[in-house]
Amino acid sequence: MLEKNHSGELNYEGRLYLDKILKASTGMSGLINNLLEFSKVSYLPPASQVDLNFVVTQVLSELDLRIDEANATIHTDHLPEIQGSFTSLKQVFTNLISNSLKFSRNGVAPQIEITSSMLAASRKSDLGLDDGYEYAEIHVRDNGIGFENEYALHIFNKFSRLNGRSEYPGSGIGLAICKKIIERHHGSIWAEGVPGEGAWFHIVLPLS
């Protein structure tokens, strides 16, 4: 309202302050929305059969414009079906793929690979998983800016940021949401990174 009715009356300094106020307001609104999304993760709907191939197809369709603008290449292998929440798992893949597009290297077209494999039985205890289930391990790998592995746990904390907000905007809560969703599905998620080469996210979920 202030911008609409009075922006023409402001001098350069006044418009500069108004712009800062509007940006801060937009950022706060986004943060509140993300916190609401984080709080909702505690209340997953009843589980149903979820085809992760369909989940990823839906995500790629919704991100189609961003993918085209980034000239990104995305390769997806056949993914498993699990028991879970379609909406919540869709949010996980949306966050991960969006991050891969966002944290790309200057002048390098993003390349994203989404693959899966069966988790070896010997690794269940290492990950604290129920030995009574079979698990799939889904990998989301990119060729972006990467990160130092010493921050591999830190990036899943709420409001965690490894890069400046001006260069890479965001609330720093997306990966915390991913972690909470995967753990609510009785799974596990972790990451590896190499600075200047890319990031590799691993998701382990129980099969249907």
Side-chain-side CA neighbours of 30 within 13 Å: the count stands at 13
Q: Report the C-alpha gap between 76 and 181 in whole angstroms.
A: 22
**pLDDT value of residue 158:** 73
Contact yes or no for 195/146 (Cβ under 8 A): yes
**pLDDT value at position 1?**
44
pLDDT at 104: 93
In the chain, the amino acid numbered 79 is L
Phi-psi region of 128 (alpha: psi -120 to 50; beta: other; left: phi over 0): left
**What's phi and psi for 191, nearest 5 deg?**
-140, 155
Locus of tokens 């889904």: 138
pLDDT digits (tens, 9 = 90+) for 101-132: 999 999 999 999 999 999 999 999 989 898 88
| pLDDT higher than threshold 70 for residue 38 | no
Of the candidates 26, 93, 89, 105, the residue with the CA atom closest to the CA atom of residue 63: 93
Q: Record the tokens describing residue 45, joined without a space.
A: 């709907």
Q: What tens digit of pLDDT does each residue of 142-199 get?
A: 999 999 999 888 898 875 655 545 455 555 688 999 999 999 999 999 999 999 999 9
Determine the straight-line distance between the first and last CA of the chain, rounded to whole angstroms.
Answer: 52
Confidence tier at 9 by pLDDT (50, 70, 90): low
pLDDT of 46: 77
pTM equals 0.78
Q: Which CATH superfamily is domain 45-206 in?
A: Histidine kinase-like ATPase, C-terminal domain (3.30.565.10)
Per-domain boundaries in the chain: 1-40, 45-206
